[in-house]
Amino acid sequence: MKETRRIEFIFEIVRILAALVIAYGVTLLCIMLISDNPGEAVYMFAIGPFTSKRRFGQLIGKFIPYLLTGTGMCFVYASNRFNLIGEGVYLMSGCMVALVATQFMSPETPHMVFILVLILVGALTGAAFGSIPALLREKARINETVVSIMMNYALLYAATYLVKAQMYDTSITYMASEPLPAAAKLTRLVSGSQIHAGIFIGIAAVIVTALIFFRTPLGYSIRICGSNPKFARTAGIGMTSSLIAAQVLGATLSGIGGAVDIMGIYDRYMWTGLTNMGFDGLLVAVLSKKNPIFVPLGAFLLAYMRTGAAVLNYTTEIPIEFVDIMQAIIILLIAAEHFLGGFKEKYIFKATKSKNKEAAKNA
């Protein structure tokens, strides 16, 4: 069994890397075919994110919230529930953090206390709103996808109202909150870039999620309920509580992601539309095969693609949406269960056969 799990683990990594190479090759080929200066376009997409401190900082600035929304969506994805509330709570958590920071806390509050309180605000906001589609799905059998998508827009409009009614800064020409106090800002690790202390929160979230997934009864229950509901019922696992917990934990992490993003990069709350960071968390979970151990890899790949597309957009004539081609190919290949499945089964068969032979000799 251990040998089989080892082979499956290795092949999941190989599948991700193979999907990346294929998608990358197709994307570069398309760039060369449609660009007037293919050499420059390929260079900007492939190497552009690493050509300056500012660009690499943009990559890490996306990578940090992806760690949090990605680990959050691993809970939701593993429970086999398509709850997309992560986008809405990401927005609302950022708004609530700005509201608490500008209206209810003293600027003289110690920095660490300020940060911990705001992270707690983000987590509680995520858990509170994330529980609504989860409870409606598990208690009333109302489709969680429909509810969560509707709630995303409701939370966007609610956040916009809070900015206008409570936090609007009349000294600027665009709609945004008052500036966040200095004590509410996460420490910049590299000056002149978007690399901030939130990366440690993201790494901690990955570690804690992995421990919950693979070292606790709750994680086992979530994975069993998502992969084999009939067995879970037969085994007496509390499906309702496990599935609700998975969705609430996922929303909580997305809420922390919104809080960390606001405190790490922005001077004030200024989101007037969906950020797609919550939706991207689902892409990270797909790239990671709903395994939190792979989330840093999936988050970095997505952040790299997004940053490369942005660099390509403002240095050449190719639009930023072009990266969707690469993203779609990667997701299709990784989501395809039979992609490289034959090789995996072959190696598992050989390993099992070899082990049986050794057991027969020793008998």
Mean pLDDT of 136-156: 94
∠ Cα 72 186 206 (to 5°):
25
In a domain, 87, yes or no: yes
Answer for the pair 292, 208: CB distance below 8 angstroms, yes or no: no
In this structure, what token pair is assigned to residue 33?
């075919």
Q: Give the mean pLDDT of 237-265.
A: 95
Mean pLDDT of 60-88: 94
Mean pLDDT along residues 194-203: 95
More confident residue, 156 or 22: 156
Q: Are 302 and 284 in contact (CB under 8 A)?
A: yes
Q: Are residues 357 and 328 in the same domain?
A: yes
Pair 125, 4 in one domain: no
CA 210 to chain centre: 14
Res 116: pLDDT: 96
Domain co-membership, 20 together with 102: no
**Residue 49 in domain:** no
Nearest in space to 192 (alpha carbons), one of 63, 51, 307, 54: 54
Provide the percentage of residues in the chain whose pLDDT is more than 90: 53
Average pLDDT taken over every residue of the chain? 87
Q: Are residues 147 and 10 in the same domain?
A: no
Residue 54 in domain: no
Report the pLDDT value the prediction gives residue 3, as an integer from 0 to 100. 65
Whether the per-residue pLDDT at 1 is higher than 60: the answer is: no
pLDDT above 60 (res 17): yes
According to the model, what pLDDT value does residue 286 have?
84
CA angle 163, 274, 67 (to 5 degrees): 105
Structural domain boundaries, residue 340 = 1-35+320-363
Output the pLDDT for position 107. Answer: 85
Specify the range with the lowest mean pLDDT, choosing from 45-59, 90-104, 150-164. 45-59
CB atoms within 10 A of CB 340: 16
Q: Say what the pLDDT of residue 340 is.
A: 66
23/152 same-domain check: no
In a domain, 257, yes or no: yes
3-state DSSP call for residue 41? Answer: helix
Other beta carbons within 10 Å of 349: 10
One-letter amino acid at 263 equals M
pLDDT at 289: 81
- pLDDT of amino acid 341: 63
Residue 339 is predicted with a pLDDT of: 64
- Checking if the pLDDT of 100 tops 90, the result is yes
Distance CA 282, CA 87 (A): 10
pLDDT at residue number 344: 64
Residue 180: exposure state from Cβ atoms within 10 A (0-12, 13-18, ≥19):
buried
User: How many helices, marked H, and strands, marked E, lie in the chain?
Assistant: 14, 0
Helices within 100-162 (DSSP H only): 111-140, 144-162
Per DSSP, the three-state class of 336 is coil
Q: What is the pLDDT of residues 261-304, one digit of tens each?
A: 999 999 999 998 888 898 899 889 988 888 899 899 889 988 98
Overall average pLDDT of the 312-332 stretch: 74
Residue 168: phi and psi, rounded to 5, are -60, 130
What is the pLDDT, as a whole number, of residue 359?
Answer: 64
- The share of the chain scoring above pLDDT 70, in percent, equals 90
**Top-confidence residue, 23 or 205:** 205
Residue from 76, 71, 111, 351 nearest 225 by CA: 76
What integer is the mean pLDDT of 318-340?
Answer: 69
Residue 210 and residue 291: Cα distance in Å, rounded?
8
pLDDT at residue number 336: 65
pLDDT digits (tens, 9 = 90+) for 150-177: 999 999 999 999 999 999 998 888 899 9
Q: Is the pLDDT of residue 259 over 90?
A: yes
Residue 46, phi-psi category: left (phi > 0), alpha (psi -120 to 50), beta (remainder): alpha
Q: How far is CA 340 from the centre of its chain?
A: 25
pLDDT of residue 4: 67
Mean pLDDT to the nearest integer, 179-205: 93
Largest CA distance in the chain: 83
Whether 178 shows a pLDDT value over 60: the answer reads yes
Domain final residue, candidates 317, 336, 351: 317
Question: For residue 187, what pLDDT is reported?
Answer: 93
Q: Are residue 338 and residue 260 in the same domain, yes or no? A: no
Number of domains in the chain: 2
CATH number at residue 118: 1.10.3470
Burial group, residue 273, by CB count within 10 angstroms (0-12, 13-18, 19+): exposed
The yes-or-no verdict on residue 126 having pLDDT over 60 is yes
Provide the β-strand partners of residue 168.
177
Same domain, 297 and 342: no
- Around 353, how many Cα atoms within 13 Å sit in the side-chain half-sphere? 6
